[in-house]
Amino acid sequence: MQPQRVLVLREEGRAMLAYGWGFMIFEDPPDSVRTLFNLSRMVGMGGKPFIITVGDVVSSNFGTYAYTNVAIVDGKTRRRVELGGPGIEAEYKCRNSPGTITPECYSAVSQAVRLTPAEGRARVAVEGEEDLLSLVAIRECRLNAGWVVYGHWKGFVCAIPCTPFFKRLAEVLLETYFEQH
């Protein structure tokens, strides 16, 4: 269901997205990173889940203390994001204005998630703002095989497992709280 036009977040959607979703981790790195991997084992994903990070700081932290398979970054917090481990094998670039999801960025996130192998590393470099692309990452992530992780503006990390429930929730949020322009 890739949009053909720009999705614009409606005002009532802002309130819905202000909440943290999934598991909220109130620890600083590297403890927050370790907690995610402990959660992964506890829910049956094992010790090597497919990790999608959204945001410069969380991507840098996961790159430093573990790994991220797909990092979605805008370069506004840090000039350069190091993913750690093997280098980036693929980079996708797109433009995305605040409060929107462009078809270009939807496609970039979808391709990065779909085409990056389990041991691979990719980056989606966003010119503009990457925040709402977490919904795309959740909708497109590999079922029961990984996590979408992003930093919440209140200072904690949200870790969303790629389960049918959260994939459907992302779909409902995209359908309900966005208008196509």
Question: Domain range holding 90?
Answer: 7-158
71 neighbors 63 (Cβ within 8 angstroms): yes
| pTM for this predicted structure | 0.93
CB atoms within 10 A of CB 1: 7
Q: Please check whether residue 101 lies inside any domain of the structure.
A: yes
Q: Please check whether residue 168 lies inside any domain of the structure.
A: no
Domains in the chain: how many in total? 1
Nearest to 109, CA basis, from 128, 129, 134: 134
Q: Please check whether residue 25 lies inside any domain of the structure.
A: yes
Q: Which residues of the chain are modeled with pLDDT < 70?
A: 1, 77-86
Q: What is the pLDDT of residue 86?
A: 59
Q: What is the pLDDT of residue 21?
A: 87
Residues with Cβ within 8 Å of 24's Cβ and at least 6 positions away in sequence, in order, are 152, 156, 157, 158, 159
Q: Please check whether residue 12 lies inside any domain of the structure.
A: yes
34-to-30, 31, 44, 55, 64 alpha-carbon distances in Å: 6, 5, 16, 18, 12
Q: Please check whether residue 175 lies inside any domain of the structure.
A: no
Residues 138 and 72: their CA atoms lie apart, in Å, by 12
Q: Please check whether residue 166 lies inside any domain of the structure.
A: no
Q: 120: left (phi > 0), else alpha (psi -120 to 50), else beta?
A: beta
Q: What is the pLDDT of residue 82?
A: 55
Q: Please check whether residue 179 lies inside any domain of the structure.
A: no
Q: Please check whether residue 74 lies inside any domain of the structure.
A: yes
Q: What is the pLDDT of residue 79?
A: 44
Residues 87 and 70: their CA atoms lie apart, in Å, by 12
Residues 33 and 41: their CA atoms lie apart, in Å, by 13
